[in-house]
Structure 1
Amino acid sequence: MNTINLSPTTTILVGASAAVAIVVTYVSVEIISLYNSGSKKRSIMKHIPDNKQGIFGEVFKFPGLNEAGLLYIMEKMKIFPFWRSVWMTKFFPIIAVYHPETAKIILKTSHPKPLKPGTPYYFGIKWLGLGLLFADGKRWIRSRRLLTPAFHFEILKPYMKVNNQATDLLLEKMENCSNSGESFEFTSNISQCTLDIMLRCAMSYENTIQKEGKTNPYVMAVNELCQIWTDRSMSPWFFPDSIFYWTSAGRKFNKLCDYVHGITDGIIQKRKKVLETEGEKALKGRGRYQDFLDILLMARDEQGKGMTDYDIRCEVDTFLFEGHDTTSSALTWIIYSLAVHKKFQERCRMEVDELLEDRDSDEILWEDMDKLEYTTRCIKEALRLHSPVPSILRELNSPLTIKGVTLPKSCVIEIALWSLHNNPHVWETPEIYDPERFLPENNKHRDPYAFCPFSAGPRNCIGQNFAMDELRVITARILRRFEFTLDETVPVKRKMSVVMRTENGMYLHLQKRNI
């Protein structure tokens, strides 16, 4: 038999050509599959407003996840008041709903999050796993039932001490900056504060996050994971895992996931050893509050079966992510709104001052929550205007009819919360910050599904009471200690991501009050 001897250079070229051929074949098969699976959806989309099916959909028309993008969305809402079709490409049709009449239809259901390859939530599974955020069917029902006790008011009450302790560290940093005369970068510092709170409440994890700031490895890891996740969601060419995990971003995402999982797993195993050697009484009677991890380790279903280590890690990582990133975004926009609108800042401060007038400290207590009425209205208006979670996706597991159009199983629906909260067909002058919208007499005639910052229905945010307590405590204590205005040399611009962020942070001029 004759053989052909190839030079090393030729061998490399042949190998490279083969690799390219494999990738091209894979991508071609994926495109054909996506096109075929979307044919029925494309025919349905003809009955939904704004049906444009160009090969790249709106990818190159959409200005970006920025202020220009929000203006683009607003202009679309003016034309299409209830819903519209959104095409990421010809293969990824999404139906956006942003009016109470259309949004409530999907919010009242328990249809799951879309987790198929190519959908935004799919890209977060490696990090967060199948916790309550992503779980479906029986797994979701079981997880929701097991986790509900973790948010009972008797569990939440001791967390007030944690909220105040973490806020003490934030206020100390703010005071140091005030004394120096420099402007204070609020966004990154509040993110460190809320992550500090979540780590303490989730796992009693004592940390130096607020002292180390951006250099803390856990903070850096979480921030980078969020950014890579967002970037991939806007880059269709990186949707296939086989391509993404070849890239430097994909390899980094893997490495960061391993790092954050290692921290969580280590704490879980340490706590399990305490449980095994000392029993449940050791967890309940250690002279401190029960944290989220305690409750997960002790949780049992109807058959007396507990959660696996993987289940627990998924729920803890989800709790940390959802709890810190959304609240830090919310607090950024709450303080921003009060910095811009001084008259509302002063009215909130008067309420807080009156509440704390005869106290030796400015610690906010559990029984204070219902007394911060005006401050709560200002918080809600900031959540409406800026929507910390801009949107939620659902995938139909059975047909659903909206405005006379029956959508087939597997359709992806975006509940566009920012759009819902800023829809000019729902809210009068939605661009104006007006806390009076949330007076009881004004709420009375408003559709309850017009304002859903924590989602609504059976899949609403299980931790919304926890979050609102945290928002009230931190906001009230900042108001008590400081007067603040924006540093206008650094304009504040919104940037849509997993949460509503700022493009360049938010800088405040702080003046310490004499109290």
Structure 2
Amino acid sequence: MGLFNVDLVLLTLLTITVVLFYRHLKTIYSVFTKLHVPGPTPKWIFGNIGDFKDKFPLEVFKEWRKKYGDVYGFFEGFRPSIVISDPEMAKQVLVKHFDKFHVRPIYNPFVYYPDNLSLLNTSGEIWRKQRSVVASAFKSINTAHVVKCLNRSADNLVKKLEESAAHSDSGFDITSLVDRFSVDAFAYAAFNYNVNSLEDEGATLFRYMRAFNLSSSADNPLTGLARVYDSLIPFLKLFDKEHAVLHELHVKEIRNCIQQERVRLSEQGLEPGEKNLLHHIMMGSFLDVAEDGKWYRRNLTDEEIVAHINSLIGGGLGTLNSSIEFAIHMLAVNPLTQQKIYDNILQICGSEENPSDQQLKELEELDWFIMETLRLLPCAPGLARTCTEDCEINGIPFRKGWLIRIMLCTLYNDNSVFPNAGVFDSQRFSPSEKEKRHPYTFLPYGQGPRMCPGNNIGVYQIKTAIVKILRKFSIESCSKTVDPLPTALRPMLCPRDGVFIKLRERSNNHRMHYAGSN
């Protein structure tokens, strides 16, 4: 009898648990129906993640937009997410109501100390104060000095491309060289950090970037599980071994770099124009509150600086790599556009082998080309925010904790916004054409207070690389060139199988002819 009672109690508890769990799931998965938000029907436990099986994620969002409109909801496991493909609504979320959407979701769920202190992983007042220092640092750097450093790194890239072209008459994949150039150039220009991965693929920063991107990739099932079911992160993190090991080595090198630059500042001193991004971050300060409640001005700690450097490297280098690789591909398959850009380079830069920051600014054809490349191949196909309080915007309800996805790629592919959207046409970004569109239909660097603070350096780096390459070579497609270029999310949009091109060295006579004719 006693055993019977125990069994009955256990059965009762199990039944109550199942009923409560059922009601909980019913409440979760009926939220969009009750609020009259359209969207695909979720499956319990999994939400809509099954809809992405064997499909490229961006294509799913494009299909959903056609079916459900500019604003709809779907479920990532248990988590409700709102998808926005409307420029005016994007403006409301990113700028006008930023206070309700100021949190940026973490796209790599495996965070290691001190990255929890970075701009990517903080919010509210802490984020605002720290962001002010980083943003001020970017505004304070001397772009002439930055471009001087970028020119040096781009020369190294051109030498490596020359070697590869000499050994590969039929064409070769440029992605590894561009990845390494991107790491070397940014680290040297921004932090005086000599990575030299173009010569040494075993360089810690380069290896760390590859591990970080793999850990964040949509191809990584561990990361996919961690994003959807965050309660599993502590367990799944145990398997994120390569990223964890290289993160520790990388952080050690960054700490050494900071210490070396502190010594250089104190012992040698630097002219204002020679101070790089790291120097300005170290010297920046903000108002903080002491334990006794009094306000005081303080500098960032070394651990905070390490975290911010990591956020800039992790959040920016992958998109830089892809931007340059996509641009080189587009130059190869659009020879007439390439010739226009080359002529513009010779017109603005003349015989000067090292373009200045001012000359790079004046390369209008190259500006339009880069923007059109990032429209067709957007490294950042969307922006994400987390709603921090219940609200309603333009009749659309938002609830605290919901993830908000602004899918830019669906706007970029919209024929009503960009006529013949599948066709490459850099003239779309001439001033007269841009005026015809809502300014929030094209946001390659984000918008609002969380806009990428380093986009100007990024553009300089892309332009410097292209100018240096085009002065030396014409870029051509080869037998392995695939167009449209297959892409993957790792975690930014990047070439899935590489970028294969052929380089033909320009003759001095050809270069002088164009230089003289301008």
The DSSP-based 3-state class of the residue aligned with 2:312 is helix
Residues 465/288 of structure 1: CA separation in 2 closer, same or farther (3 Å cut): closer
For 2:398 and 2:480, the matched residues in 1 are separated by: 49
**Paired position in structure 2 for 1:243:** 235
Tell me how far 1:126 sits from its aligned partner: 5.1
1:43-122 map, 5 Å: 43=32, 46-55=35-44, 56-63=46-53, 66=56, 69-89=57-77, 91-108=78-95, 109-110=98-99, 111-115=101-105, 120-122=107-109
SS at match of 1:351: helix
Q: 1:200 aligns with which of 180, 188, 191?
A: 188
Give the C-alpha shift of residue 38 in structure 1.
7.2
SS at match of 2:504: strand
Could you say which residue in structure 2 is the equivalent of 1:270? Answer: 260
Gaps of 5+ in 1: 1-24
Distance (whole Å) between structure 2 residues aligned to residue 254 and residue 407 of structure 1? 36
Q: Deviations over 1:378-406 (max 9, x none)?
A: 11001111111122221111223234122
Structure 1 residues 34 and 354 mapped into 2: Cα distance closer, same or farther (>3 Å)?
farther
Q: Are positions 1:499 and 2:492 aligned together? A: yes
Change in Cα spacing, 1:126 to 1:496, as seen in structure 2 (3 Å) is farther
3-state DSSP class of the match of 2:137? helix
Q: Which residue of 2 aligns with 1:134?
A: 121
Q: From 130, 148, 154, give the equivalent of 1:161.
A: 148
**Match for residue 220 of structure 1 among 194, 202, 207:** 207
1:209 alignment partner, SS class: coil
Task: Report the counterpart of residue 7 of structure 1 in structure 2.
Answer: none
For residue 376 of structure 1, the aligned residue among 367, 381, 384 is 367
Q: 1:35 to 1:429 in 2, by over 3 A?
A: farther
1:333-375 Cα deviation digits (max 9, x unpaired):
1111121111111111111122233x2x421111212321111
Range 128-137 or range 461-470, more displaced: 128-137
Give the 3 Å change call, closer, same or farther, for CA 412–266 of structure 1 in structure 2: same
Aligned to 2:292: none
Go from structure 1 to structure 2 and tell me whether the alpha carbon gap of 1:34 and 1:479 turns closer, same or farther (over 3 Å shift).
farther
Where 1:459 maps in the other structure, the secondary structure is coil
Pick one of 407, 430, 445 that aligns with 1:454: 445
Q: Cα deviations across residues 403-454 of structure 1 (Å, max 9, x unaligned)? A: 4122122211012222232234432222211111111111112111011000
Count of aligned positions: 472
What per-residue deviation string (whole Å, max 9, x for no partner) do you get for residues 169-204 of structure 1? 111111122222342321221111111012112321
- 1:386 counterpart = 2:372: no
Higher mean alpha-carbon deviation, 331-340 vs 101-110, is at: 101-110
8 A contact 2:413–2:422 mirrored in 1? yes
Could you tell me how far apart the structure 1 residues matched to 2:27 and 2:414 are? 29
- Does 184-193 or 36-45 show the bigger shift? 36-45
Higher alpha-carbon deviation: 308-317 or 200-209? 200-209
Matched residue, 1:296: 281
Q: Is the 8 A contact 1:63 1:72 kept in 2?
A: no
Q: 2:514 corresponds to which residue?
A: none
Q: How does 1:323-338 map to 2 (within 5 A)?
A: 323-338=316-331
- The AA in structure 1 aligned to 2:379 is P
**Which of 442, 462, 465 is the matching residue for 1:471?**
462
CA distance in structure 1 between the partners assigned to 2:420 and 2:140 by the alignment = 36
d(CA) in 1 for partners of 2:481, 2:339: 24
Give me the whole-angstrom Cα distance separating, in 2, the residues matched to 1:45 and 1:259.
50
Partner residue in 2 for 1:18: none
Local SS of the residue matching 1:158: helix
2:307 to 311, 314, 320: 314
Separation in 1, partners of 2:34, 2:277: 43
Q: Cα offset for 1:508?
A: 1.0
Judged with a 3 Å threshold, the aligned counterparts in structure 2 of structure 1 residues 496 and 126 are, in CA distance, closer, same or farther, namely farther
- Within the alignment, does 1:151 sit opposite 2:141 as a pair? no
* Structure 2 length-normalised TM: 0.84
Q: Please say if 1:396 is aligned against 2:370.
A: no
Contact 1:124–1:229 under 8 Å retained in 2 = no
Q: Shift in Å at residue 316 of structure 1?
A: 1.0
Is 1:426 matched up with 2:417? yes
8 A contact 1:400–1:407 mirrored in 2: yes
The match for 1:409 is: 400
Equivalent position of 1:8 in the other structure: none
Are residues 157 and 290 of structure 1, via their aligned partners in 2, closer, same or farther at CA, if it must alter by over 3 Å?
same
- CA distance in 2 between counterparts of 1:386 and 1:127 reads 33
CA contact (8 A) 1:297 1:306 kept: yes
Question: Is 1:339–2:332 an aligned residue pair?
Answer: yes
Aligned to 1:254: 244
One of 228, 248, 270 as aligned partner of 1:284: 270
1:98–1:127 distance in 2 versus 1, CA, 3 Å: farther
Q: CA RMSD in A?
A: 2.8
Amino acid at match of 1:284: L
Are the aligned partners of 1:380 and 1:438 in contact in 2 as well (CA < 8 Å)?
A: yes
Report Cα offsets for 1:202-251 as digits up to 9, x if no partner: 321123211123x43431221112112222332358741232133xx323
Distance 1:208 1:37 in 2: 55
Normalised by the length of structure 1, the TM-score is 0.84
Matched with 1:480 is 471
Correspondent of 1:445 among 436, 441, 445: 436
* Equivalence map 1:347-366=2 (5 Å): 347-357=340-350, 359=351, 361-366=352-357
From 163, 177, 180, the counterpart of 1:189: 177
- Going from structure 1 to structure 2, the CA distance change for 1:406 and 1:83 (only over 3 Å counts) comes to closer
Seen in structure 2, the aligned counterparts of structure 1 residues 370 and 146 have a Cα distance that, compared at 3 Å, is: same
CA distance in 2, matches of 1:106, 1:305: 32
Q: Is the 8 A contact 1:114 1:412 kept in 2?
A: no
- Equivalent residue for 2:293? none
Question: Could you say what secondary structure the match of 1:304 adopts?
Answer: strand
| Structure 2 gaps, min length 5 | 1-13, 288-295, 512-518
Aligned counterparts of 1:510 and 1:403: Cα–Cα separation in 2: 52
Q: Which amino acid aligns with 1:318?
A: S
Give the distance between the partners of 1:272 and 1:211, measured in 2 at CA.
27
Instruction: Tell me, in whole angstroms, the C-alpha distance in 1 between the residues paired with 2:381 and 2:114.
Output: 21
Tell me by how many angstroms 1:49 deviates: 2.2
Q: 2:499 is matched by which residue type in structure 1?
A: M
1:124, CA displacement in angstroms? Answer: 4.3
